[in-house]
Amino acid sequence: MDDEFPIDEPQPHGIQDRATSRAQRRRRTEPRPESSHVKPDEPESVKPARALLEQILQKMGLTHVEVTYLPRSEGEYFEVTGPDLATLIGRHGNTLEALNLVFNNILNLGVRNNRKYFTIDAEGYRARRADHLKNIALVTLERCIREKKPQALDPMLPSERKIIHLALAESPYVRTESEGVEPERHVVVHPR
């Protein structure tokens, strides 16, 4: 009788378990690319950086991940996908930010000219966070114009402050400055 009803995996109990189960089912049903490590449109100059990132991720205990190279208008990205990436992202993206810093420092060690910088993202965390920060920038812009006084934002990572500065850089109504000392450094939006 056991042969009639095989059980492949335990039933999910919580929200995270259901999301994980959906992701696992999606991975099982999606066709696998011929090579999970190299995309045909990836430049040769990117391959050593990809190999370094994969080696670092393996040393961190993240062995079942896929690294995808993505050229974007704002720079070159490595998107990491796979199970259990919460540890890679860390609290408020701090681990991901630290990994990005260490990775780029190792990659450019001893290089004087033509330094390469990549942004590492995990399951689209940075992309979602960037969209959220752009929305915060626009809400702060409106508040600054309405109240006609400077608006201080919460402390942020350097890469997050940069997103706010860039989002408001072209505005004729406000200017931005970073104030404070790490880890409490934050953006202040001033009316012009």
Query: Which whole number is the average pLDDT over 141-168?
Result: 95
Q: Which residue has the tokens 């752009």?
A: 134
Q: DSSP readout, 126-191?
A: HHHHHHHHHHHHHHHHHHHHHHTS-EEPPP--HHHHHHHHHHHTT-SSEEEEEES-TTS-EEEEEE
Q: Counting Cβ atoms within 10 Å, is residue 163 exposed (0-12), middle (13-18) or buried (19+)?
A: buried
Query: Which whole number is the average pLDDT over 142-150?
Result: 97
In the DSSP assignment, the letter for residue 94 is H
Residue 3 pLDDT greater than 60, yes or no: no
Tokens representing 187 are 């953006």
CA distance 186 to 177: 8
Tens digit of pLDDT for each residue in 55-98?
A: 999 999 998 999 999 998 778 999 999 998 999 999 989 999 99
Q: What's this model's pTM, rounded to 2 decimal places?
A: 0.68
Tens digit of pLDDT for each residue in 12-60?
A: 444 444 444 444 444 444 443 444 444 557 899 899 999 999 999 999 9
Q: Which residue has the tokens 């626009």?
A: 138
Percent of the chain clearing pLDDT 70 (strictly above): 79
Contact (CB, 8 A) for 96 and 122: yes
The amino acid that residue 153 corresponds to is L
**Nearest CA-CA partner of 180 in 159, 160, 154, 162:** 154
Residue 177 pLDDT greater than 80, yes or no: yes
Mean pLDDT rounded to a whole number for the chain: 83
Radius of gyration of the chain (CA): 21
CA distance 190 to 48: 43
